[in-house]
Structure 1
Amino acid sequence: MTKGAFISFFVAASMIPATLFSQSPSSEYQGSPYHDSRYQAGAQKIPGKVFCAYYDLGGEGVAYHDTDPQNHGSGELNPADGSYLNEFRIHEGVDISYTKFNRKPNLIDDNPFNKVVPPADLPYVGWTEPSEWFNVTVEVAQTGTYAADFLYTSNRGGTISIDVNGKDATGPLDITTTNDPADPLPWRQWHHWNVAGDLFKVTLSKGKNILTVHVLTNGSMNLAYFDFKPVKK
């Protein structure tokens, strides 16, 4: 599925205050690293996997922008039944679901049309639309250049971009469609997982940085995580 959280580079500039990151990554920013009773990690670590579903706390217009306030995953696709995953961030506009395995007879995220098999019960941002964005606070171990692999699905291709501390760092990034006409179940086109290896490279400073993920065109993507690794000199 897909419809979740980002904004085009040009629209983002008009919606995020220009002074937001003017002095340091956190001097004016009112968001904060995600945490809850189960997830206590704080700022996500680089090198390592940066999970999209653990975008920052702070709400609409601060930590994210979504095109509507309804979470179409938690509490809608996934019924509110008291379970952690079905109700994950249920009251926020970013649309979140999680990978589901062993759902027979119609396999979902462990289907034979995957390019890669994702981890089970992995929360991800979905239902993405152009003009949506979200922020993720990260803690970088050492100043340097990092390459990022991207775990995702895309029903029809599209573009995203990444800002670092309020400045565009990548330009538009082409996301290859994972649509496979051989799959007999049309709804499963949103569940063909793939990894885009070395999707982009960015230079990051040691310490806290704020990454902003934007959906630029098409949407209809599931965004799981970016896996950052230092680029060897």
Structure 2
Amino acid sequence: MKGDRKTAIRSDDSQELTTINRRGCLKLGAIGAVGNFQQFSEWLLGEQSARSGIGHGFGGLPALDERIIPYFQESDLAPAKRINTERGIHSRFGGADTYEVSVDGDYLFADIVRESASKTAAAVVVGGGRILDAQYLGAGTTRLAASATSLDGVVVQVFNLDAGAGTYYLDVSEPEQAPYDEQWNLPGKIEAEDYDTGGAGVAYSDTTDQNMGGYRDGAVDIEATSDDGGGYNIAWTDAGEWTEYTVGSDAGTYDIDLRVASNRGEGKIRVSLDGTALGTVDIPQTGGWQNWQTVTVPDIELDETDGSVLRIEAVEGGYNLNWIEFNQAGSIESPPEQSPYGSSAWEIPGMIQVEDYDTGGAGVAYSDTTDQNMGGYRDGAVDIEATSDDGGGHNIAWTDTGEWTEYTVDTITGTYEARLRVASNRGNGRIRLLLDGEVVGTVDIPKTGGWQNWQTVTIPELSFDAGDGRVLRVEALEGGYNLNWIEFVDSAAESGDPISTPDDWSYSAQGYGEGTYGGVEA
């Protein structure tokens, strides 16, 4: 985690210690103080503890409170040692070691490393005369954290409750907030799960220590999302929780769009920049925790900034959040440009691999009736799968009426036969070819006996003028076929091959109403 300095500790020259986190470790309450610490700890861990009124915490150990922590038995304290964030201290447990810490900021981490946990030991952070955090010390690294509520006269105390507890290493650090990857630039989209590094109280606040989901360390609850584009969303939100993001912005007026889902409604989000509230928005009931809607905080004026901190805060929880997008109000977004997939136009005469349609996205280089890519090979909604046709590669599949793909082509003047490599377990498909928006021909797709039983169909006598950077569209007038490639052959040079008839008319596992459509035969 950026800004969170860690010290690599080895117990000898060859063995590296493991690291543990603080989840499940004990929080603490405050009860009164007692006398001599050594006598008290012996009494506590002996038979007397079974008859005392002392509360017990994790694993049957007593709850860490003022009755146990030697800081509160001042007569037993050895003179405090000073420690800073530049270097750690390696020492042996020997009662109670107390360290004064100088802190410039508002937060403190204290990492204590032990070789083993066979003997009981603990540590505490005290500020302003009260307990800020306390933990029993397991094997490896245990982290204590203190926030800005009171860092006045802060001390870290490390002590053993059993003799022979061995050695420990203490390292203190002040977390620094930094972008998770790099600064987010506005206008633009921010992925909510990629909040800043720095840890609890610095880059985020969460009402529980447990991460209910995954994706990254920390207490912020994150889960995989089924929203368009995939990725992750923040979930299990509760009132008072927040995440922060380092941003830079252009001056202008913005609409802030937030992508939310809630099965409950009644959520409310506040958006702030450098501590100043920009606006709030109510979260509607969207019909499910993965049923997504976009809500907007409109007309927000921003100055030009760099290194500013955006905070997204749950005034009321009960919603999921996928992303936040700043769009300049009234601006018209430039449409994406269409260009060849492999940077070079296809040449006619020649063969076009149909899965390598142009870049530019939906509505520009292709149109598909569903957002989901049923296959793979490349991003986008066009359904593509591996092919078992000669030469291998991929084919377009799961076609539906009205879908199309486009290809940038350079043509040479001539008369051509278009050969299309198709497969269909259903038949009744129909393909139309257009060049620069003009229809040049159509062809019916026969029933070939399987979704990977391939035939070549032809459109003869297509006359093309010479031209560079032209656009060929392949359109499904009727779907229900797979398409592997299209080849344009000069009619003057070749007469064309006859349409083949498959030897094997066995049906595959695919079919509209007869099995799954689009896949390779079982």
Question: What is the TM-score normalised by the length of structure 2?
Answer: 0.29
For 1:97-116, what per-residue CA distance to the aligned partner results, in whole angstroms no more than 9, with x for missing partners? Answer: 122xxxxxxxxx3xxxxxxx
Residue 149 of structure 1: how far off its partner (Å)? 1.3
Residue 92 of structure 1: how far off its partner (Å)? 0.1
1:59 paired to 2:361: yes
1:229 paired to 2:500: no
- Measured in 2, the distance between the counterparts of 1:50 and 1:147 equals 14
Aligned to 2:422: 152
Gaps of 5+ in 1: 1-27, 75-87, 100-108, 110-116, 180-188
Aligned to 1:202: 462
Residue 34 of structure 1: how far off its partner (Å)? 0.5
For 1:54-96, what per-residue CA distance to the aligned partner results, in whole angstroms no more than 9, with x for missing partners? Answer: 111011001110001111001xxxxxxxxxxxxx21x200011
**Secondary structure of residue in 2 paired with 1:211:** strand
Aligned to 2:401: 130
Percent of counterpart pairs with the same letter? Answer: 36
Q: Which amino acid aligns with 2:413?
A: T
Residue 200 of structure 1: how far off its partner (Å)? 3.6
Which of 351, 358, 369 is equivalent to 1:49? 351
For 1:156-187, what per-residue CA distance to the aligned partner results, in whole angstroms no more than 9, with x for missing partners? Answer: 121110001011111x42111112xxxxxxxx
Residue 132 of structure 1: how far off its partner (Å)? 0.4
Q: Which amino acid aligns with 1:211?
A: L
Q: Is the 8 A contact 2:336 2:361 kept in 1?
A: no
Q: Which amino acid aligns with 1:119?
A: G
**Secondary structure of residue in 2 paired with 1:174:** strand
Aligned to 1:192: 453
Aligned to 1:113: none
1:215 paired to 2:476: yes
1:30 paired to 2:362: no
CA 1:156–1:201 in 2, change beyond 3 Å: closer, same or farther? farther
**Secondary structure of residue in 2 paired with 1:152:** strand
Aligned to 1:93: 381
Residue 154 of structure 1: how far off its partner (Å)? 1.4
RMSD: 1.9
Gaps of 5+ in 2: 1-334, 494-522
CA 1:127–1:200 in 2, change beyond 3 Å: closer, same or farther? farther
**Secondary structure of residue in 2 paired with 1:138:** strand
Q: Which amino acid aligns with 2:454?
A: W
**Secondary structure of residue in 2 paired with 1:53:** coil
Q: Is the 8 A contact 2:336 2:360 kept in 1?
A: no
**Secondary structure of residue in 1 paired with 2:355:** helix
Q: Is the 8 A contact 1:118 1:193 kept in 2?
A: no
For 1:189-208, what per-residue CA distance to the aligned partner results, in whole angstroms no more than 9, with x for missing partners? Answer: 21111112x33432222232
- Measured in 1, the distance between the counterparts of 2:372 and 2:366 equals 13
Instruction: Give the count of matched residue pairs.
Output: 157
Q: Which amino acid aligns with 2:372?
A: Q
Moved over 4 A (4+): none
1:118 paired to 2:390: yes
1:166 paired to 2:437: yes
**Secondary structure of residue in 2 paired with 1:151:** strand
For 1:109-153, what per-residue CA distance to the aligned partner results, in whole angstroms no more than 9, with x for missing partners? Answer: 3xxxxxxx5212x2211110001011111112x211111111111
- Measured in 2, the distance between the counterparts of 1:48 and 1:228 equals 5
Q: Which amino acid aligns with 2:471?
A: I
- Measured in 1, the distance between the counterparts of 2:380 and 2:375 equals 11
Residue 30 of structure 1: how far off its partner (Å)? 3.4
- Measured in 1, the distance between the counterparts of 2:365 and 2:488 equals 21
Q: Which amino acid aligns with 1:147?
A: E
Q: Which has the higher Rg, Structure 1 or Structure 2?
A: 2
Q: Which amino acid aligns with 2:382?
A: V
CA 1:29–1:49 in 2, change beyond 3 Å: closer, same or farther? farther
- Measured in 1, the distance between the counterparts of 2:473 and 2:432 equals 8
For 1:20-44, what per-residue CA distance to the aligned partner results, in whole angstroms no more than 9, with x for missing partners? Answer: xxxxxxxx99311112xxxx5x111
- Measured in 2, the distance between the counterparts of 1:173 and 1:29 equals 31
Q: Kindly indicate which of the two structures has a greater share of residues assigned to strand.
A: 2
Q: Which amino acid aligns with 2:385?
A: S
- Measured in 1, the distance between the counterparts of 2:445 and 2:476 equals 10
Higher RCO structure (Cα 8 Å, ≥6 apart): 1
